[in-house]
Amino acid sequence: MRRWLVTGGVGFIGHHLSRALLERGDSVTVLDDFSDAPYPARLKRRHADVLSREYAGRVDIVEACVTDRATAARLTSGVAGVIHLAGLAGVRPSFAEPARYAVVNVEGTATLLAAAQRAGTPLFVFASSSSVYGNATPLPAGEDAPAIAPESPYAASKRAAELVVSAMIRKTPEMRCPLLRFFTVYGPWQRPEMAITSFLRNVMADEPITVFGDGSMRRDFTHVDDIVRGILAAADGAPPGVRAYNLGSGAPLTLTELVAAMSRAAGREIRVERAPVPLGDVDATFADIARARAELGWHPQIRLDDGLATVVRWLASEPA
């Protein structure tokens, strides 16, 4: 049995990952500050209670921020690896609090990695984002693209954190440090304001949905179960040093196509209202996943219609 430190381990992706690690017999220490934005604290508390009850003795929940150096030093000691999912997410809210995003996402990552290096931790998995590519990167986006024109403070903070990690690993080149760029992750327990969850909640309540722009924006929607498998594959198989990997479906859809798929999943007609594209939203996300296939043996397995069905079932059983 191996013990892992999972930061953000009671958030959306973190909850699913923590459960997957525990299900395979490992133990987990979760580090989360239980902040209320952008992921609701009430959902984090619920996840923490479920994990503590179902996996008593194999999971510890620590409430603290990733910028806390003493906590980082204590929790990185003796673990098989750090899987760093914690951070402030969300393109739009990052314009309101850019300094907070920089502190949590950049300083927090540097603090945690420095502690892991001092502890001799062999693995540091960093959860990045497709947002680092912006609008300037040719599609499908490959990991070696420059990624030098972020469209939001959130995207800039994730790219800055990647660069800090790349520089810090020069001190410990034997350390394995995959940078995982997630593409539009969805599934049960997703953040309530994200498109698929908010759209389907409205659809099931027979309310209209608001689509930004004319419906032509494209997104590479990736189910959370595929993302979790990708994280585990990277934790098990990434080489020494820093290596970036795209984790996406590799098959982007327009928002118009997404609406049609949601209509099928919910079994209902959908009424659409239009709104201007918000500041910071990119025109398209489209992952080149060849590297993850070749080096990690990973590929997405969940079709969109099947993935949307999991969200519909979740919303029906957990409407809050």
Which residues are annotated as catalytic? 154
Q: Quickly count: other Cβ atoms within 10 Å of residue 123's Cβ.
A: 20
Q: For the chain, percent helix, then strand, then coil, each to nearest 5?
A: 45, 20, 40
Residue 42 has a CB neighbour count (10 Å cut-off) of: 11
| Rounded-to-integer distance, Cα 59 and Cα 81, Å | 15
Q: What is the DSSP letter of 236?
A: H
What single DSSP character describes residue 152?
Answer: S
Q: Distance between CA atoms of 253 and 304, rounded to whole angstroms?
A: 10
Rounded Cα gap, residues 90 and 38, in angstroms: 7
Query: In this structure, what DSSP letter does residue 239 have?
Result: P
Angle between helices 224-237 and 12-23 (to 10 degrees): 60
| Structure tokens belonging to residue 190 | 């997703």
